[in-house]
Amino acid sequence: MYIVQIASECAPVIKAGGLGDVVYGLSREVEKKGHCVEVILPKYDCMRYDQIWGLHEAYRDLWVPWNGGVINCTVHCGWVHGQLCFFIEPHCEENFFNRGTYYGALDDHMRFAFFSKAALEFLLKANKRPDVIHCHDWQTGLVPVLLYEIYKFQGMDTQRICYTIHNFKHQGIAGTNILWATGLNRPEYYFHPDRLQDNFNPFGLNFMKGGIVYSNAFNTVSPHHAWEAHNTDVGCGLGGTIHQHQGKFSGILNGISYDMWNPAADTFIPQHYSPETFEKKSVNKQALRDRLLLRDEDKPLVCYVGRLDNQKGVHLVHHAIYHALNRGAQFVLLGSATETSIHSWFWHEKNHLNDNPDCHLELSFNEELAHLIYAGADIVVVPSNYEPCGLTQVIALRYGTVPVVRGVGGLVNTVFDYDYDEARSPNERNGFVFYQQDNYALETALDRALDLYYQVPEKFQQLAQQGMAYDYSWNKPADQYLALYEFIRHP
């Protein structure tokens, strides 16, 4: 099969969140299974050019119809850690992708509408006819709309679209001007509840809704999150649209790259280890303490790695710090805040705890340190308010770090409670789960983890090793996506 991914991110060259990891990891795994995959991306001025090999012009003078005129683009080509990628560079006054940032501009809806149009124009003019076009999140929600309303009639009538939603919170809302700019026109046609009209704003067009309505299949990034989006307010207003199109909706769990996340070969940690040599993990715990100037005592080390924002249950992250310290554990946090108020709050805590020999808060993101924390910690807390998939708990399991998670989204599909998961035998359980959003719920789960560590250390180690035995690589998800691709090609 020939598959083209159209996305706003691809790690490590363009990464603002988990989307980039998914686009890269899935593409590489599908190629390993014998298929051809190409990725189309914007050419941002701020992307990691040092992560691209052999960048060169692949298509000059791509004229993209836009706003009643045309915009000239150059399409560049290069390899990102073995993955063939095309980068679209528009030459126009708007400087769509020369903003020093990936997202956050007031005209983001225009920027990514143009990117969606340019990506299809490139496929058309370069005579590329993939079997499946796989696009992601609101930024490319217009791709299926443009394909089936315009490009289908210009020689792209056999292409099929898979649309993956990584986060329902950001949906891409725009007005009539987007129709004139893209050449879709006909506002009376698109401002319809069965097409692009936003479910709560009759004057808004919803990019993500367009992706759902016009795609051949759409999915989100875990089975449980698919259920939540369909049946609860986690769908952020799109539940009705999902219900209308539920026959083509599914949840496929994300994987992680086992090349990048592998304690037996990780170049960022001082001591490699495996389930069979688990005792060597303690060397990394010592190295983490040395690096962060923590007290060298025999006690559990609890960590949090990830963004500091409301989605991640930041109030429970804060509570976990003090509860772990009160229980005689150490706590390490690595993450940056997405809001000024949260940033100020955690800087205050950092200063307050600065002289505590059992605690370190690192309010930034550092890839190397993240690897060392996963390898050195005993327990990781993931108390998310909602979590489409979650990579933190999956990485932690790979490194034998026991997760304490809230039972939402993909966390439910990957972590199985040590005491209470009756669907699995004791030797298949791998962590601790709580369900409410209050401090007491977190405490009960974290206490169960710490009690096991203190009172029955051999069973705690066995639980950590059971977590390492799980396969959350891209192998199985890639097979599920390939089955979905085949289904929409031959329904």
Annotated binding residues for ADP-alpha-D-glucose = 15
The closest of 238, 156, 161, 166 to 197, measured between CA atoms, is 238
424 SS3 class: coil
Rounded to 10 deg, the angle between the 314-326 and 439-455 helix axes is 40
The closest of 294, 275, 256 to 399, measured between CA atoms, is 275
CA angle, 226 then 232 then 234, to 5°: 70
How many angstroms separate the CA atoms of 212 and 142, rounded? 10
CB atoms within 10 A of CB 416: 21
- What's the count of helices (H) and strands (E) in the chain, helices before strands? 17, 17
How many angstroms separate the CA atoms of 395 and 349, rounded? 27
What does residue 156 show for φ and ψ, rounded to 5 degrees? -120, 55
Contacts of 10 (CB under 8 A, 6+ apart): 20, 23, 24, 27, 39, 41, 80, 83, 85
Residues within the annotated binding site?
15
How many angstroms separate the CA atoms of 331 and 73, rounded? 50
The closest of 44, 36, 40 to 62, measured between CA atoms, is 40
CA angle, 18 then 23 then 27, to 5°: 145
Q: Do residues 389 and 222 make contact, with C-beta atoms less than 8 angstroms apart?
A: yes
**Structure-block tokens of residue 413:** 């599909």
